[in-house]
Structure 1
Amino acid sequence: MFTIQEIVRWWGLTVFEIWINLISLLIFTILLALKFDHNSEVSHYSWWTIFCPLFASDALNAYFCIIVFIRMHLENSLKAALQRLAWSWNFIFMICLFKFFLCKKLMGQLNLDYSEIFAPIYILLQLIAVRACQQT
């Protein structure tokens, strides 16, 4: 198993961002299970409503990244702040793009194969692999 320090270093996320993602994933999983339960009210909700906790976590993470960027900039570490901001925004953008494509596909509004929908995740995994090799 990986340690939390390795995950933080390789993914470029803080522990706070990881917790936000885990909590939103838990809420999303509960809503997803209720969506497939035909006896609940949630089964009539749209996919956008089910994916709402995941998009909210992306917004919170983006807000957190802006705060961290401002604080790092005020501490006169502009180069490190820009590198962290670029990585974080790239990470958030790729994850959000994947969720957007998946939600559109589930709603029937997008005619793409699943390999095309997962393309942002594949790109992100390659970037994480490069980052992991640079960190060791």
Structure 2
Amino acid sequence: MIFSLNELVHWLGLTIFEIWINLVSLTIFTILLAMKIDNNYFAGNGGWWIIFSPLFIGDGLNTYFCAIIFIRMQMDGVMKSAILRALWSLTFLLLVFVFKYLLCKKLSGQSSLEYSEVLSPVFILLQLIAVRACQLH
């Protein structure tokens, strides 16, 4: 089952620009990951942090974009919608960031967390998306 772009925008609560930023950062991350796995580039202590850096930069850009949208919605006088959108976007970005951070720490050997603990932000995010999808229909 392939979802349409409109369904993804409604269910995830992201704009097309935010989805585009995530796709670009994920593409760069995938190229860096393939380089590490294939030729063992980025060996050393900071290797995984370098590979995950495009994802962290994408999160930062999305947070900046959400702040701009929040300010513009406030200036337009749509306070309730602005607060709800900002709350959802920041929750989404925070959970994704925490997952990436914990995964990077686990892969680099800086943490002794189990993978179920590392994936817990993703489980919470999936539950929130399921609730949001039920509210929209």
After TM superposition, the score normalised by the length of structure 2 is 0.95
| Residue correspondence of structure 1 range 1-136 to structure 2 within 5 A | 1-38=2-39, 41-43=41-43, 46-136=47-137
Confirm or deny: 8 A CA contact 1:27 1:53 kept in the other structure: yes
C-alpha separation between the residues in 1 aligned to 2:118 and 2:77? Answer: 40
Distance between the aligned counterparts of 1:113 and 1:105, measured in 2? 8
Amino acid corresponding to residue 33 of structure 2 in structure 1 = L
Alignment size in residue pairs? 135
Gaps of 5+ in 2: none
Query: How far apart in 1 are the matches of 2:12 and 2:80?
Result: 19
Find the aligned partners of 1:11 and 1:36 in 2 and give their Cα distance.
31
Measured after TM superposition, the shift of residue 42 of structure 1 is 3.7
- Following TM superposition, by how much is the alpha carbon of 1:36 offset from its aligned partner in structure 2, in angstroms? 1.1
Conserved in 2, the CA contact under 8 Å of 1:34 and 1:43?
A: no
Q: Distance in 1 between matches of 2:125 and 2:51?
A: 24
The list of structure 1 runs, each at least 4 consecutive aligned residues, that deviate by more than 6 angstroms after superposition, is none
Gap runs ≥5 in structure 1: none
Partner letter of residue 47 of structure 1? W
Aligned-CA RMSD value: 1.1
Deviation at 1:46, TM superposition (A): 1.2
